[in-house]
Amino acid sequence: MQFGPTPLSPAEAALRAEVREFLAAELPPDHRPALGFAGRHDPAFSRKLAARGWVGMALPPEYGGHGRSAVERFVVAEELLAAGAPVGAHFVADRQTGPALLHYGTEEQRQRFLPGISAGEIYFSLGMSEPDSGSDLASVRTRATRVEGGWTVTGTKVWTSEAHNNHFFAVLCRTSPMEEGKKHAGLSQLIVDLHADGVRISPIPYIDGSHHFNEVALEDVFVPDDMVLGEIGSGWQQVTSELAYERSGPDRWLSTFPVLREFLREKAGTGVSDEEATVVGRLAARFWAIRQLSLSVARALDAGAAPAIEAALVKEVGTRFEQDLVEALRVAAETELDQGSGSLFGELLAEAVLTSPKYTLQGGTTEILRSVAAKGLSA
């Protein structure tokens, strides 16, 4: 296990102070905090953040990025999420697709996409899940067929977050038929323009009534050769390492933090009872402890390690904690949930109760993470 105590260097602490100052200036005092990375899609905010150099931090300067470390990215991400900043537009491109393009993309693809990602102007969705393929991702049926100059893709992706707002998505599909016992072979990733001919995006109403999810139907969509991401046939390895990147950052334990902060604000006048104090203290203690684990994974990544088990553990425990917090505060508050209650705490709590099942599902369910981690522990 590679968890170890690590301080922020003076430069990292200075970066944090800069982000705090920026957020204090940018977010109006009465702003409604977003819960988590998918909380709100706000291109204007993404561009402002990018102008400060805080999007595409992990990407090298020659592609418009900033060549910053994993810890520096961690520092910025945790400040944004703690403040409930609206990072939904660029977050997936920044966390996942950008690094994947850097790793597996051609020089031409890097030139084409990375500067726009770093500028907070090009947004990506994830095209993995299908109606019959969730945890068993290798069973996807979306199929690409070779044609002159590229591929034509046909199939249906579901749960595609923000497809209606974003520009592209990386589609996991079959480029050669499944062979008995070799389920992970023959898969590839293609970058599909969400506005291309043959792409039909239909909303799937989200549990809180908002438009977040989509079904994306692909019908003979032409994808030129220069939009193949990485090697044909290596889609599975690419996707699974992508999942490892995204696993253990602050977005896996901080999503519901604003609810706790607003609880304290609401109690500022009356003070807290013993029971409320106990709940607040327990949550704060666990935040503090989980944060150290998550930070230490970022530090290990910077040292060139591959802390895959550690990352799975952090996500498993962190996302359960995000849910746990919501229920603990609900019980402490003794309130009836109402999305329009007029109290910021009450409304955030209602939103959190409605949406919190997602934390332990998206990006690999709790059950799947446990088997990844347990295999590593027993190895």
Ligand X SMILES: Cc1cc2nc3c(=O)[nH]c(=O)nc-3n(C[C@H](O)[C@H](O)[C@H](O)COP(=O)(O)OP(=O)(O)OC[C@H]3O[C@@H](n4cnc5c(N)ncnc54)[C@H](O)[C@@H]3O)c2cc1C
Sign of CA dihedral 170, 364, 376, 244: positive
Q: Does 301 bind other proteins (CB under 8 A)?
A: no
177 touches other proteins (CB under 8 A): no
Other C-beta atoms lying within 10 Å of the C-beta of residue 5: 8
Could you tell me the CA-to-CA distances from 32 to 125, 206, 225, 326, 343 in Å, in that order? Answer: 24, 20, 44, 17, 11
Distance of CA 255 to the CA centre of its chain: 11
> Which of 58, 128, 229, 243 is the binder for ligand X (CB under 6 A)?
128
Out of 125, 175, 323, 356, the residue judged to bind ligand X by CB under 6 A: 125
Pairing label, strands 168-174, 187-193 = antiparallel
Q: 72, 130, 316, 351: which one contacts other proteins (CB under 8 A)?
A: 316
Element (DSSP H or E) covering residue 249: none
Q: Is 365 in the site for other proteins (CB under 8 A)?
A: no
Residue 317 contact, options ligand X, other proteins, none, Cβ 5-8 Å cut-off depending on partner type: other proteins
What residues contact 124, with CB distance under 8 A and at least 6 apart? 92, 93, 96, 97, 117, 166, 167, 168, 169, 170
Report the alpha-carbon distance of residue 222 to residue 237 in Å, rounded: 24
What count of Cα atoms within 13 Å lies in the side-chain half-sphere of residue 7? 5
- Does 264 bind other proteins (CB under 8 A)? Our answer is yes
Q: For the window 143-162, what string marks contact with ligand X as x by the rule CB under 6 A?
A: ----------------xxx-
- Pair 104, 141: CB distance under 8 Å: no
Q: How far is the CB of 365 from ligand X (least distance, A)?
A: 3
42 class by beta-carbon count within 10 Å (0-12 exposed, 13-18 middle, 19+ buried): middle
CB of 378 to other proteins, least distance (A): 5
Piece in contact with ligand X (CB under 6 A), picked from 78-86, 139-147, 295-303, 356-364: 356-364
User: Between β-strands 199-204 and 168-174, what pairing exists: parallel, antiparallel or unpaired?
Assistant: unpaired
Q: Rank residues 65 and 318 by Cβ distance to ligand X and give the closer one.
A: 318
| 280 near other proteins, judged by CB under 8 A | yes
361 binds ligand X per the rule CB under 6 A: yes
Residue 168 in contact with other proteins, rule: CB under 8 A: no
> Min. distance of Cβ 374 from other proteins in angstroms?
3
Q: Which residues contact 284 (CB under 8 A, 6 or more apart)?
A: 260
135 binds, among ligand X, other proteins, none (CB under 5 to 8 A by kind): ligand X
Which tokens sit at 261?
A: 């902060």
The tokens for 162 are: 């923000």
Question: By rule CB under 6 A, what count of residues binds ligand X?
Answer: 16
* Binding status of residue 358 toward ligand X by CB under 6 A: yes
CA atoms of 278 and 272, how far apart (whole Å): 9
- Binding residue (CB under 6 A) for ligand X from 6, 237, 365, 376: 365
Interface with other proteins includes 303 (CB under 8 A)? no
* In the complex, least distance from residue 375 CB atom to other proteins, rounded to whole angstroms: 8
Nearest residue (CB) to ligand X, 134 versus 150: 134
In the set 262, 322, 347, 351, which binds other proteins (CB under 8 A)? 262
Alpha carbon of 358 to those of 133, 208, 256, 312, 348: distances in Å?
Answer: 17, 12, 12, 17, 16
Partners of 335 in beta bridges: none
Give the binding site for other proteins (CB under 8 A).
1, 3-10, 16, 78, 82-83, 257, 260-262, 264-265, 267-268, 271-272, 274, 276-282, 284-293, 295-296, 313, 316-317, 367, 369-371, 373-375, 377-378
Give the binding site for ligand X (CB under 6 A).
125-129, 134-135, 159-161, 358, 361-362, 365, 367-368
